[in-house]
Amino acid sequence: MKYVLIIGAKNELGIELANLYARNNYNLYLAGRSIKDIQDKSDEIEKKYKVKSVLCELDVTDYNSHQKIYDTLTIKPIGVIYLAGYYPNIPLSISEWSETLRTIEINYMGCMSLLNIISNQFINDRRGFIISVTSVSGLRGRAKNYIYGSAKAGLITYMSGLRNKMNKYNVNVLTVIPGFITSNKDNKENYPRVLVTTPKKLALKIFNAQQSNKDVIYSSTLWQLIMFVIKLIPEALFKKLKI
């Protein structure tokens, strides 16, 4: 029985991925805070796809609990997907350390803590896959959101190093770098439609990339091109831009 562990499974992308992996005969560990809130969706997935869907209460910032929670999983997952994320109140993230820390912990430190533990299991098994969703904000620091961006930049670098380490153990490490993702809470009507993707479309892209052992994907080719150009801008010029 193969399981995939989805961390941050309550968000819309998490639910789409849960359905997609279940449809392809993966059992599920759905982890997150107040995870019982999606009990109905978990039950629906079990019934629809005839798989197991187990809810796991998990606080990504409670580092001391991570090993204990992972040890409770009787059948260890063959793959893990880290989706937990937090976009801060921008002024508070600069002026209040608690908001700064929350941004860094959820977007970077929590992921690093959990993947350190899980990757050791995958090394022993000589197989597995690891996926983490980052952001284009992590590719270049901007005045608008540099606290959030720096956390995502740390995660991108961590995933790159982990990929380099895990390659010889037959473990695929996939970094997902999306732009804008629409949701029921924020449909992002103010953004050009070509820059926005849906959780359903992104979930399918992630699944296909993982099945093909890809290393890095963007939510679209356009975003990949945009960020390629932005990274080429000299710092002397970039610091004067308002983007």
64-112 pLDDT per residue, tens: 999 999 999 999 999 999 999 999 999 999 999 999 999 999 999 999 9
Count CA within 13 A, CB hemisphere, residue 167. Answer: 8
Count CA within 13 A, CB hemisphere, residue 82. Answer: 32
pTM for the model stands at 0.94
**CATH 3.40.50.720 applies to domain 3-238:** yes
Residue 149 has a pLDDT of 97
In this structure, the number of other CB atoms found within 10 A of the CB of residue 42 comes to 21
In this structure, the number of other CB atoms found within 10 A of the CB of residue 72 comes to 7
The span from the CA of 5 to the CA of 7, in Å, is 6
227: its two tokens: 């960020």
CB 197 within 8 A of CB 219: yes
Residue 66 has a pLDDT of 98
The whole-angstrom distance between residue 44's C-alpha and the CA centroid of its chain comes to: 23
Residue 184 has a pLDDT of 65
In this structure, the number of other CB atoms found within 10 A of the CB of residue 57 comes to 12
Number of continuous H segments (helices) and E segments (strands) in the chain? 10, 9
Residue 185 has a pLDDT of 60
Residue 186 has a pLDDT of 61
In this structure, the number of other CB atoms found within 10 A of the CB of residue 109 comes to 18
The residue ranges of the chain whose pLDDT is under 50 are none
In this structure, the number of other CB atoms found within 10 A of the CB of residue 234 comes to 7
Q: What is the helix (H) or strand (E) element at residue 27, kind and residue range?
A: strand 27-32
Sign of the CA dihedral 104, 108, 110, 113?
Answer: negative
Residue at token pair 């805070």: 33
Q: What angle do CA 49, 204, 116 make, to 5 degrees?
A: 90
Residue 133 has a pLDDT of 97
The helix, strand and coil proportions of the chain, stated in percent and rounded to the nearest 5, come to 55, 15, 30
